[in-house]
């Protein structure tokens, strides 16, 4: 097995619209992602994981333009949906592009669990019995694992988004053991967040579109622009992570 670290980038909450000229929170989601792209390329990622809300309106053209933007960026792409996504359109476009919805990926000697937390017509999330059963299976093999889910399993102290969390997060947390579960990475919150809970790190990827300043009652635009989270995964289970911003090349 190669000892080279595996570089993974988590992209989240691109909020593309059907109209390529359309605006999300007064900014162009396409332009935001384009602005971030040189920094993403500079990391030479081995894989991308898209953690939902890649479209604001669930439209096919939005997903098609996401694929166009990400073309050639990494040899492998995994994805989960968010509350704004149309899962059927997303699966159709991303499936044709060769993107993988898992639910398990095996990258760089690690196991990645892609958990679908979407509940139809509900901005909050939940893990269904299939997802919980998957977690029970994972616990039987202590392979280093990263878990991805769209909704935040704990409050990020921003009331505007904490109204729409992952419900019943204890069903997730009680199934995780730091012996195998290294981190849970989520999107949805449009800000940077990281905390260790019972030996497992919970962290967010800020949006590739518009972010909010942290710990705000209402969405308050963060002027530092689009972002993404990177991970370097070592085969023996060590890992590192950080946030990348547009302009960091
Ligand atoms: Fe979301």
CA of 10 to the centre of ligand 1 (A): 15
H/E/C letters for each residue in 182-235? EEEEECCCCCCCEEEECCEEEEECCCCCCCECCCCCCCCECCCCCEEEEEEECC
Tell me the C-alpha distance between 212 and 196, whole Å: 22
Supply 74's token pair. Answer: 């990494």
CA of 235 to the centre of ligand 1 (A): 31
Which residue segments constitute the domains of the chain, with CATH numbers given?
6-245 (3.60.21.10)
State which residues have CB under 5 angstroms from ligand 1, the bound ion: 53, 82-83, 188
Tell me the pLDDT of the chain (249 aa) as tens digits: 557 899 999 999 999 999 999 999 999 999 999 999 999 999 999 999 999 999 999 999 999 999 999 999 999 999 999 999 999 999 999 999 999 999 999 999 999 999 999 999 999 999 999 999 999 999 999 899 999 999 999 999 999 999 999 999 999 999 999 999 999 999 999 999 999 999 999 999 999 999 999 999 999 999 999 999 999 999 889 999 999 998 665
CA of 16 to the centre of ligand 1 (A): 13
């Amino acid at each position: 097995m190669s000892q080279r670290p595996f570089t993974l980038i988590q992209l989240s909450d691109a909020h593309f619209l059907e109209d390529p000229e359309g605006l999300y929170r007064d900014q162009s989601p396409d332009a935001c992602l384009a602005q971030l792209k040189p920094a993403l390329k500079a990391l030479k990622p081995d894989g991308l994981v898209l953690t939902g809300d890649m479209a604001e309106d669930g439209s096919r053209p939005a997903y098609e333009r996401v694929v166009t933007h990400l073309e050639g960026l990494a040899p492998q792409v995994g994805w989960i949906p968010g509350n704004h996504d149309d899962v059927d359109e997303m699966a159709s476009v991303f499936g044709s592009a060769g993107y993988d919805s898992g639910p398990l990926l095996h990258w760089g000697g690690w196991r990645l669990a892609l958990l679908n937390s979407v509940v139809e017509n509900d901005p909050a999330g939940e893990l269904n019995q299939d997802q919980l059963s998957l977690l029970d299976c994972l616990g039987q093999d202590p392979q280093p694992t990263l878990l991805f889910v769209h909704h935040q399993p704990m409050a990020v102290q921003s009331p505007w988004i904490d109204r729409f969390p992952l419900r019943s997060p204890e069903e997730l947390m009680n199934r995780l053991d730091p012996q195998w579960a290294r981190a849970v990475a989520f999107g949805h919150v449009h800000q940077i967040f990281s905390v260790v809970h019972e030996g497992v790190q919970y962290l967010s990827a800020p949006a590739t579109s518009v972010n909010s300043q942290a710990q705000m009652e209402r969405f308050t635009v963060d002027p530092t622009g689009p972002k993404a989270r990177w991970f370097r995964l070592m085969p023996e289970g060590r890992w590192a992570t950080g946030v990348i911003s547009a302009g960091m090349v």
